[in-house]
């Protein structure tokens, strides 16, 4: 033995860990930002159907949350992100990217605007260093509040019914990407209508001391509405159907790229719609992104593809021809969509191949009877938002 690693317990438990552990029917814990997080409770498939046909509950407490407030907070946020923050009203959520000087994406996530000069930035990775660098010259206070609140994502067609039973006044009228704050049984509760599943859904935020109350209340009220806890595997299936990209899966954050060429722009990540070059304020990367757009410098665009057959196609090469002479790009995330009965994936394609409807070829290697076999099948470019039911916004 050449090396002994003395492991000490260091993973933290979120405030929902107790009730989650009771439902953990297998060895489903994985590490997420230093916390125990469920990959699954029972089975990925049944959890997936909870999202699409009932109501699913996923613990989003490990998300990293920053409070940004102060006299210049509104101006600072507009300088930080690619969206036009002047168009976001208090108690609204916006999905946005933020970039480095070269217009390469550091990350994307949601911003809650709670008041004129009071924001919360939700991120998957730590951003404090970048935020503090960016805040030079602005009168803002930036604080990481990840442990001050904890949250559950309640997603699925019956989610609203459960919240009605909870007694949330005005839940019927809460529009997509809006926020409500209230007290229930004397407990502070914030609800935003957003999520990572592309379905009707909400995120519920409480103080850590009220976590168990929230969990138990939801499951008690939601029982007739097919409420079920889910893990990250089922969530991943739904987010691919919804076309949502994931850092470190579909792109590498600019601060984490080992080679500068690994960094990608929001245009290349296929979220060019979240870049507002016409907004009044300057934002970091705006000049670089304007140049990328006007000079057509995007190297590739992350787009959706629909693939013939059922073979899982993550990390597969795409070609313009069946012979595989002209290589076009690579898939990132992929899934068989049970509700749509389609084999779908995200693919990095040259811009001229990224418009929906084009036929390409994909080379999939798959295991079969202790061998790896190759199949070259057709695929077609599609809008990446494969699953977009009307109930999401209704």
Partner 1 sequence: MSAGYDAAIIGAGHNGLVTAAYLAKAGLKVVVLEANDRPGGAAATREFAPGFRVSAVAHLLHALHPRITRDLGLKRLGLSKGLKATGTAALLPDGGRIEISRDSAATSASIGRVSPADGAAYAGAIARLVRLSGALGGCMLRTPPSPAMASNDLRTKIDLGLFALSLRRLGRKDLLELTRILTMNVADLAGDLFESDSVKGLLAFEATLGAYLGPRSPNTVFNLLYRLSSFGPQGMGAFHLPAGGMGAVGDMLAKAAGNAGAVIRLEAPVEHILVEKDVAAGVVLAGGEEVRAGLVASSADPQATLLKLVAPGQLDVQFLKRIRHLRMNGCVAKIHLALDGLPDGWADGARRLVFAPGIDHVERAFDCAKYGRVSDSPALEVVLQSLADPSLAPAGKHVASILFQYAPYKLRTTSPDDARQQVLERGLDTLDALAPGIKGRVLASEVLIPHDLESQFGLSGGQWHHGEVTLDQMFFLRPAGGFQRYRMPIPGLWLCGAGAHPGGNVSGAAGANAAREILRDVKRRRAAR
Say if CB 266 and CB 77 are below 8 A apart. Answer: no
Distance CA 371, CA 389 (A): 40
CB-based burial label for 61 (10 Å; 0-12, 13-18, 19+): buried
Span near partner 1 by CB under 8 A; candidates 276-284, 319-327, 359-367, 378-386: 276-284
Selected from 29, 76, 202, 244, the binder of partner 1 by CB under 8 A is 76
Span near partner 1 by CB under 8 A; candidates 171-179, 279-287, 296-304, 364-372: 279-287
Rule CB under 8 A: say whether 256 interacts with partner 1: no
Closest to partner 1 by CB, 39 vs 85, is 85
Closest to partner 1 by CB, 225 vs 256, is 256
Closest to partner 1 by CB, 44 vs 100, is 100
Rule CB under 8 A: say whether 78 interacts with partner 1: yes
Task: Tell me which H or E stretch contains 268.
Answer: none
Q: Which of residues 5-44 bind partner 1 (CB under 8 A)?
A: none
Closest to partner 1 by CB, 137 vs 390, is 137
The 3-state secondary structure of 214-268 reads: HHHHHHHHHHHHCEEECCHHHHHHHHHHHCCCCECCCECCCCCCCCHHHCCCCCC
Rule CB under 8 A: say whether 388 interacts with partner 1: no
Q: Which of residues 138-167 bind partner 1 (CB under 8 A)?
A: 138
Strands 105-115 and 187-192: unpaired
Q: Which of 78, 101, 94 is nearest to 278 (CA)?
A: 78
How many residues are given for the chain? Answer: 394
> Torsion-angle region of residue 309: left (phi > 0), alpha (psi -120 to 50) or beta?
left
Rule CB under 8 A: say whether 130 interacts with partner 1: yes
Rule CB under 8 A: say whether 100 interacts with partner 1: yes
3-state secondary structure of 129: helix
Minimum distance from residue 75 beta carbon to partner 1 (Å): 6
Distance CA 283, CA 161 (A): 41
Selected from 29, 36, 41, 79, the binder of partner 1 by CB under 8 A is 79
Rule CB under 8 A: say whether 292 interacts with partner 1: no
Minimum distance from residue 295 beta carbon to partner 1 (Å): 13
The site for partner 1, by CB under 8 A, has a size of 20
Burial 123-133 (b: 16+ CB within 10 A, else e): bbeebeebbee
Rule CB under 8 A: say whether 259 interacts with partner 1: no
CB-based burial label for 300 (10 Å; 0-12, 13-18, 19+): buried
Distance CA 111, CA 65 (A): 9
Distance CA 262, CA 360 (A): 24
Write the binding mask 203 to 222 for partner 1: x where contact by CB under 8 A, - elsewhere: --------------------
Rule CB under 8 A: say whether 295 interacts with partner 1: no
Phi then psi for residue 249, to 5 deg, are -110, -50
Selected from 27, 136, 173, 374, the binder of partner 1 by CB under 8 A is 136
Rule CB under 8 A: say whether 281 interacts with partner 1: yes
Selected from 52, 113, 160, 286, the binder of partner 1 by CB under 8 A is 286
Selected from 11, 25, 209, 282, the binder of partner 1 by CB under 8 A is 282
Gyration radius from the chain CA atoms: 22
Contact positions toward partner 1, by CB under 8 A? 72, 75-76, 78-79, 100-101, 130, 133-134, 136-138, 281-282, 284-288
């Amino acid at each position: 033995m050449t090396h002994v690693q003395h492991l000490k317990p260091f993973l933290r438990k979120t405030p929902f860990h107790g009730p989650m552990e009771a439902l953990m029917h297998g060895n489903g814990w994985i590490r997420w930002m230093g916390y125990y997080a469920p990959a699954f409770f029972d089975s990925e498939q049944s959890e997936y159907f909870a999202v699409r046909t009932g109501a699913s509950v996923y613990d989003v407490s490990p998300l990293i949350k920053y409070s940004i407030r102060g006299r210049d907070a509104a101006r600072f946020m507009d300088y930080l992100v690619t969206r036009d923050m002047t168009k976001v009203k208090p108690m609204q959520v916006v999905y946005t990217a933020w970039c480095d000087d070269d217009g390469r994406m550091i990350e994307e996530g949601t911003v809650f605007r709670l008041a004129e000069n009071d924001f919360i930035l939700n991120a998957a990775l730590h951003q404090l260093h970048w935020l503090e660098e960016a805040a030079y010259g602005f009168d803002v206070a930036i604080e990481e509040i990840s442990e001050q609140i904890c949250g559950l994502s309640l997603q699925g067609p019956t989610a609203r019914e459960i919240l009605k039973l909870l007694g949330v006044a005005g839940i019927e009228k809460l529009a997509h990407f809006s926020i409500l704050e209230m007290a229930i049984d004397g407990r502070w509760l914030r609800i935003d209508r957003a999520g990572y599943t592309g379905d009707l859904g909400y995120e519920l935020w409480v103080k850590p001391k009220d976590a168990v109350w929230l969990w138990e209340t939801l499951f008690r009220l939601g029982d007739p509405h097919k409420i079920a806890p889910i893990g990250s595997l089922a969530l991943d299936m739904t987010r691919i159907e919804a076309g949502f990209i994931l850092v470190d899966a579909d792109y590498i954050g600019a601060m984490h790229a080992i080679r500068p060429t690994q960094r990608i722009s929001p245009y290349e990540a296929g979220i060019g719609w979240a870049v507002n070059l016409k907004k009044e304020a300057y934002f970091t990367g705006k000049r670089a992104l304007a140049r990328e757009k006007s000079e057509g410098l995007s190297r590739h665009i992350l787009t959706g593809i629909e693939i013939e057959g059922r073979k899982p196609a993550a990390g597969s090469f795409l070609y313009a021809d069946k012979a595989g002479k002209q290589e076009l790009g690579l898939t990132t995330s992929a899934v068989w969509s049970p509700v749509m009965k389609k084999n779908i994936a995200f693919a990095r394609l040259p811009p001229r191949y990224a418009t929906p409807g084009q036929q390409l070829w994909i080379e999939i290697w798959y295991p079969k009877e202790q061998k790896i076999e190759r199949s070259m099948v057709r695929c077609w470019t599609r809008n990446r938002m494969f699953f977009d039911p009307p109930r999401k916004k209704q």
